[in-house]
Amino acid sequence: MENQENSLSSTSESRDINYYSVLQCNQNSTIDEIKSNYRSLIKKFHPDKQSKEQSYSDDKFIHIDKAYKTLSDEQLRKEYDAVLLEKSFNESSLIYAELEKTGLDFDSEGVAVFPCRCGQNIEIYKSVLDDEESLIECSECTNCVLIK
């Protein structure tokens, strides 16, 4: 039972780990930068170099190792980048919807409303028609509607 709980928590943890931040680099980093970061981190966190009290670094070491195995392989890195992209799109995409100007239905006061996923109505004013593209923010959450 205890083992089960452990494996569950480590699964959800590793899902949230960003390999780039583990290796202190970013998606633009070259393989050489990734390699050199990996080498210095692995020295710092290698379990053999830690005292027993610092067993937390075992986890750290495993993550560093896993991150490096993924990011040092061109194909795996590409796949990982695609996952990250999808993840960031799903989790923090600011654009909730794209609307065509021609599809907007303004009322007599020149306001069109769009129901945001948070439940709030996003108000779109007729002045958006003057601009090529407008980004309207929801007043209640971080979503935006792109009008073009």
Residue ranges that bind Zn ion, judged by CB under 5 A: 116, 118, 120, 138, 140-141, 143
Closer CB to Zn ion, 50 or 120, in the complex: 120
Closer CB to Zn ion, 113 or 141, in the complex: 141
Both tokens assigned to 139: 């007043």
Name the minimum Å distance from CB 89 to Zn ion.
17
How far apart CA 82 and CA 64 sit, in angstroms, is 20
CA angle, 88 as apex, 28 and 79 as ends, to 5°? 60
CB 104 within 8 A of CB 124: yes
Name the minimum Å distance from CB 113 to Zn ion.
12
Name the minimum Å distance from CB 120 to Zn ion.
5
Name the minimum Å distance from CB 108 to Zn ion.
25
Closer CB to Zn ion, 112 or 116, in the complex: 116
Closer CB to Zn ion, 31 or 95, in the complex: 95
Residues with Cβ within 8 Å of residue 71, at least 6 apart in sequence: 19, 20, 23, 25, 31, 34, 77, 80
